[in-house]
Amino acid sequence: MALAGSPRAKKGILERLDSGEVVIGDGSFLITLEKRGYVKAGLWTSEAVVEHPNAVHQLHMEFLRAGSNVMQTFTFSASEDKMESQWEAVNTAACDLAREVANKGDALVAGGICQTSLYKHHKDEARIKKLFRLQLEVFARKNVDFLIAEYFEHAEEAVWAVEVLKEARKPVAATMCIGPEGDMHGVTPGECAVKLVKAGASIIGVNCRFGPWTSLKTMRLMKEGLWAAGLKAHLMVQPLGFHMPDCGKGGFVDLPEYPFALEPRVATRWDIQKYAREAYNLGVRYIGGCCGFEPYHIRAIAEELAPERGFLPPSSDKHGSWGSGLNTHTKPWIRARSELSQQGPHAATTEPARLEPMLHNKRRHRNEKPVHRNEV
């Protein structure tokens, strides 16, 4: 499999999706930059684009090298109600950083908005749409390639966001931070999907709040809702990079581990390869991640779907798919693990009987006493 070559004339997001191309989104910014010391937890605003532009640029580059072909502007919570006087500078800088990195590869720039702080308290449609429109004016001036309304827990506010973004006459994607139970007012995933498409979104799906497997369940419900209504749209999924099977309706923000003790829940690269394949089999063609999705997770998506895409990302030059690079290790029992790479997705769930010869070889080299299963 060849590595991605020099950038060609770029196709638009709908041109790519209409042709069946797999589009890989980017991953975690807020959680990752908080860990790196550039974002403050709680507010979760994106002023790092002006305070520490090199840090944001570096993360964009890591996602590009990992296989992302969408650079989403780091404009989460960058509306006037959350950032006051800084909002315009932040949105402008975020567009410039995303474009600079996108131009280094075959990537598009997506201008992103999210739910406001006003809806829960006021539900003032005119005022909320004005906030969206202010950000949209910056995105239009910077000529982003398409627009994303993401992280909405209320279907009505998401619809308002789509209606505003459509004013720019650019493709619009809309993702909600909901699980199988639907939005905070009981609107089902299928109904949410229908509302978003009728509002004008060409791409719909879910992002954040829930892990890969729960998010795929929600995507299936959205797909069924569209089918029942006789509607069509491209599907998009960008879940958490954490395992969250015990989440309630509100998602991971309601867990006691949020946000500083989530590390034990991190998905492995193997988990993400399986997620990417299942998303693809479901018919999703825009596949990425949200909080907790590190660059190596995005690389796992790109490697799993390399046969469909026809190339590997640049960072795969330093990575053997499914652990094949371990064949160069100095320890023979670790080298033996590279044999599992030939088994692909079955490697992480190989039954004990098939592992026994390799475990025996490891014990022999380390002079370990075998452990019988009835002693465990």
Question: What digits encode the pLDDT tens for the residues 78-88?
Answer: 888 877 779 99
What is the mean predicted confidence (pLDDT) over 286-307? 98
Same domain, 281 and 366: no
Rg (C-alpha) for the chain, rounded Å, is 22
Q: What domain range is 325 assigned to?
A: 321-375
Same domain, 271 and 336: no
Residues in binding site for Zn(2+): 208, 290-291
Specify whether the CB–CB gap between 216 and 180 falls below 8 A: no
Residue 8 has what pLDDT? Answer: 56
Alpha carbon of residue 251 to chain centroid = 16
Give residues with Cβ within 8 angstroms of 167, minimum separation 6.
Answer: 133, 136
CATH number at residue 121: 3.20.20.330
Residue 25 has what pLDDT? Answer: 99
Same domain, 265 and 278: yes
What residues does 108 pair with on adjacent strands? Answer: 70
What is the mean predicted confidence (pLDDT) over 342-357? 43
What does the alpha-carbon distance between residue 206 and residue 224 come to, in Å, rounded to a whole number?
14
Verdict on whether the full-model pTM lies above 0.85: yes
Same domain, 223 and 114: yes
> What single letter denotes the amino acid at residue 275?
Y
- Per-residue pLDDT tens over the stretch 11-69: 999 999 999 999 999 999 999 999 999 999 998 999 999 999 999 999 999 999 999 99
> For residue 5, is it within any domain?
no
Residue 375 has what pLDDT? Answer: 29
Specify whether the CB–CB gap between 10 and 106 falls below 8 A: yes
Alpha carbon of residue 138 to chain centroid = 24
- pLDDT-derived band at 344 (thresholds 50, 70, 90) equals low
- Return the beta strands (E) in 180-253 as ranges: 203-207, 234-238
Specify whether the CB–CB gap between 78 and 45 falls below 8 A: yes
- pLDDT-derived band at 371 (thresholds 50, 70, 90) equals very low
What does the alpha-carbon distance between residue 347 and residue 341 come to, in Å, rounded to a whole number?
7
Same domain, 337 and 325: yes
What does the alpha-carbon distance between residue 124 and residue 87 come to, in Å, rounded to a whole number?
20
Same domain, 246 and 288: yes
What does the alpha-carbon distance between residue 302 and residue 296 come to, in Å, rounded to a whole number?
10
Check whether the bond before 259 is cis (ω within 30° of 0).
yes
Same domain, 99 and 198: yes
What does the alpha-carbon distance between residue 264 and residue 194 come to, in Å, rounded to a whole number?
36
- Per-residue pLDDT tens over the stretch 191-223: 999 999 999 999 999 999 999 999 999 999 999
Give residues with Cβ within 8 angstroms of 11, minimum separation 6.
Answer: 19, 21
What does the alpha-carbon distance between residue 288 and residue 146 come to, in Å, rounded to a whole number?
16
Of 318, 338, 361, which closes a domain?
A: 318
> For residue 8, is it within any domain?
no
Same domain, 194 and 147: yes
Same domain, 200 and 267: yes
Same domain, 360 and 307: no
Specify whether the CB–CB gap between 75 and 30 falls below 8 A: no
> What single letter denotes the amino acid at residue 144?
V
What does the alpha-carbon distance between residue 241 and residue 167 come to, in Å, rounded to a whole number?
33
Residues in binding site: 208, 290-291
> For residue 59, is it within any domain?
yes
> For residue 123, is it within any domain?
yes
- Per-residue pLDDT tens over the stretch 223-282: 999 999 999 999 999 999 999 999 999 999 999 999 999 999 999 999 999 999 999 999
- pLDDT-derived band at 341 (thresholds 50, 70, 90) equals low
Sequential DSSP letters for 348-359: GG--HHHHHHHH
What average pLDDT does the structure give for the chain?
90
> For residue 3, is it within any domain?
no
What residues does 238 pair with on adjacent strands? Answer: 207
**Comparing C-alpha atoms, which of 188, 290, 273 is closest to residue 237?**
290
- Per-residue pLDDT tens over the stretch 123-174: 899 999 999 999 999 999 999 999 999 999 999 999 999 999 999 999 999 9
Question: 53: how many CB neighbours lie within 10 A of its CB?
Answer: 16
Work out whether the CA dihedral 231, 235, 239, 244 comes out positive or negative: positive
Alpha carbon of residue 201 to chain centroid = 18
> For residue 299, is it within any domain?
yes
What does the alpha-carbon distance between residue 239 and residue 205 come to, in Å, rounded to a whole number?
10
* Domain count along the chain: 2
Measured distance between the N- and C-terminal CA atoms of the chain, rounded to whole angstroms: 43
What does the alpha-carbon distance between residue 176 and residue 188 come to, in Å, rounded to a whole number?
11
Residue 121 has what pLDDT? Answer: 87
Same domain, 202 and 304: yes
Same domain, 244 and 331: no
What does the alpha-carbon distance between residue 110 and residue 123 come to, in Å, rounded to a whole number?
27
